Structure 1
């Protein structure tokens, strides 16, 4: 049982509602807590009691620090000393992990190289050692870990908890990553798609903070999307919502690993970009090299990045016509291309969107560090998921 769930300060439903809001959103003003349905007087009384017990602490609002006029606003948040959550990203060739406290502060993060063909249990055993090293750095023991959020590069079926065949790490396809991670790590674990968890991170701390409906495009080995609808991650009935990398753009195009032809991944993922530059450069360029060369003026590299943006824009127009998000955030390894990718992407989307030139949402690069965006989102998911990790009682 976590320190939060055992805390004597939680005596009733209103106390749990306040703590639940802070688990989901991090530090909030009393006014924002009242917007959740409680009266201001109730929020004031509950917060005062929770501050006295030590479950909450009060901090200044960093957005208002330094202003000379008016009473300095304050925020309340969970006391970070009560426990931690762990976020883990299983990616191609690398595992990233982070430890965050319950106040949603990033305490430590690191990564290790892995073998893409390794059995998941082998990878998770190495991950367990990495988690122990990070916990040692932070001064927290395993008994203070509320849970682990695990990000995997593919869809997870909602009914069975199994990863789908579109997972880009084939040894991870067809397993229940939550169950396997709980067994190997000896910690309670939940699992979700990497794009969904990155979307949650940008919603909690980044470019989409405060929004109710937005789309996050995550580019790694493949291209995926995380959809936030009415403030919640939308995964679909079978966990495949957001697999835009398998959107068909050319029915006579190259065969994709999913078995389809002309998928977005065959036109705009890092492999497709590198393949187009093979003749010019005589070797397989890494995506980071392509972006660096483009920024230095290489015409071929600039062209393929712009083409990738246009292809993604076609898929984004279809997505916009269906879901109508307030904002589209680009994250992952293609985000570093900035305007070279985003400008043609937005232009392509505008030409095809049903409200072209009127209400098409902005497209921006993610605000969070691409090295940690997925793992901090995974850590945040542990605090948000009251079904897996019960609310304090």
Structure 2
């Protein structure tokens, strides 16, 4: 059980990370606590070297320790690690508490790789990056992990139906925690991309935002009033498994005619190989963006199919912004224009007349940045720095932003 003192320290760090430097009086007011309580928490954090007396709003020096002086997080006092098992790429980064990259690298990733081998590989990369960065392990606050599949909100493990089919039943966060001796927290990659776009990117001012992730699979992150909506058990947003053709191809989930089976980059590449022969995903998307007729046609058709499904979502959620991310977005307007047209065609006018639809502002780094935000939040909820798989949130349907 976390002590009240640790919970209070976590709340103060939360406020400083979200709002920037604050005086003790400001912290007391924003957290609804007494000035004496706020000052005591700040004193503890100063002693732990997690915060420092900072500068005033005009960057003029202030007298250290003066009650009205602002306090700020020492960004070098602790670090976060993000691991994104992307649909085509494995991305890993070490970041400070201001979310500035200390080291960041990416490698090709095979989603059919066995879970244990993939965890071994990720752990080896993390260890090498920690060594290269010269960071003390006890300063690493938490590790966030993104995976392309639904994550059970109660257990933190993958649901059946994931793209990572062979990983279902594997304790991914627990396995990485044991390998790294660090607290590890995992979530679905589309949820993490939505969290990052809500915090840093194109959905910062949105009341309701949809983040559509198009790659080897199709993901969806839903943001409602500053929270990522996950549903009762963590599988909200499985847009890729909406059935669009009951006689269509068999999907990885076992159903037939899922959207994902028709518009994933692999499905589009396979369709294009009839006329172009063997072709890589990168080449297909490059040709589409350059105006190649065949490549442009398969990508545009995919955009229209996704747009029809997103149009239905607009009727349900009435978003003010729809952001599109993932590797398929490399095709640019060839994908986005048909998606927008179909979205507007297959929804009621009032549901889409004020919707802004755009590429994700954070590009293909969104999911990695989301892992950091998620890990940071979980670490604040579990400040005792466990090394076994940490407990999940008490409210699995929503996640508070930083």
TM-score over 0.5 (shorter chain): yes
- Greater Cα offset, 109-118 or 308-317: 109-118
Q: Is contact 1:16-1:391 (8 Å) kept? A: no
RMSD: 3.6
Instruction: Give the TM-score taking structure 2 as reference length.
Output: 0.80
User: Structure 1 residue 221 and structure 2 residue 195: aligned?
Assistant: no
* The one of 358, 361, 384 aligned to 1:364: 358
Name the CA distance, whole Å, in 2 between partners of 1:17 and 1:322. 35
- Give the Å deviation of 1:116: 4.4
Q: Is contact 2:149-2:158 (8 Å) kept? A: yes
Residue in 1 that maps onto 2:63: none
- Give the Å deviation of 1:153: 1.3
Q: Which ranges of structure 1 fall in alignment gaps of 5 or more residues?
A: 66-74
Q: Is contact 2:11-2:380 (8 Å) kept? A: no
- Greater Cα offset, 163-172 or 113-122: 113-122
User: Structure 1 residue 202 and structure 2 residue 221: aligned?
Assistant: no
Residue in 2 that maps onto 1:161: 156
User: Structure 1 residue 323 and structure 2 residue 317: aligned?
Assistant: yes
* The one of 294, 297, 300 aligned to 2:294: 300
Equivalent positions of 1:72-151 (< 5 A) are 77-92=72-87, 94-113=89-108, 116-151=111-146
Name the CA distance, whole Å, in 2 between partners of 1:388 and 1:12. 10
Name the CA distance, whole Å, in 2 between partners of 1:119 and 1:277. 28
Residue in 2 that maps onto 1:178: 173
Name the CA distance, whole Å, in 2 between partners of 1:298 and 1:229. 39
Q: Is contact 2:211-2:221 (8 Å) kept? A: yes
Residues 69-116 of structure 1 show CA distances to partners (whole Å, capped at 9, x for unaligned) of xxxxxx975221110011001235643211111222222111345554
Alignment partner of 1:334: what SS? helix
| CA gap 1:194/1:59 in 2 versus in 1, 3 angstroms | farther
Alignment partner of 1:306: what SS? helix
Q: Is contact 1:201-1:376 (8 Å) kept? A: yes
- Give the Å deviation of 1:37: 6.0
| CA gap 1:301/1:28 in 2 versus in 1, 3 angstroms | farther
Residue in 1 that maps onto 2:303: 309
Name the CA distance, whole Å, in 2 between partners of 1:160 and 1:296. 45
Q: Is contact 1:84-1:101 (8 Å) kept? A: yes
Alignment partner of 2:204: what SS? coil
Name the CA distance, whole Å, in 1 between partners of 2:274 and 2:374. 44
User: Structure 1 residue 279 and structure 2 residue 274: aligned?
Assistant: yes
| CA gap 1:282/1:29 in 2 versus in 1, 3 angstroms | farther
Alignment partner of 2:15: what SS? helix
- Give the Å deviation of 1:261: 2.4
Residue in 2 that maps onto 1:389: 382
Name the CA distance, whole Å, in 2 between partners of 1:35 and 1:210. 24
| CA gap 1:44/1:178 in 2 versus in 1, 3 angstroms | closer
Residue in 1 that maps onto 2:11: 17
Q: Is contact 2:148-2:164 (8 Å) kept? A: yes
| CA gap 1:60/1:336 in 2 versus in 1, 3 angstroms | farther
Q: Is contact 1:215-1:226 (8 Å) kept? A: yes
Residue in 2 that maps onto 1:378: 371
Name the CA distance, whole Å, in 2 between partners of 1:260 and 1:129. 36
Alignment partner of 1:242: what SS? coil
Name the CA distance, whole Å, in 1 between partners of 2:45 and 2:296. 54
Alignment partner of 1:381: what SS? helix
- Give the Å deviation of 1:176: 2.5
Residue in 2 that maps onto 1:69: none
Residues 125-155 of structure 1 show CA distances to partners (whole Å, capped at 9, x for unaligned) of 2222211222233331211111111111111
Name the CA distance, whole Å, in 2 between partners of 1:198 and 1:390. 24
Instruction: Give the TM-score taking structure 1 as reference length.
Output: 0.82
Alignment partner of 1:98: what SS? strand
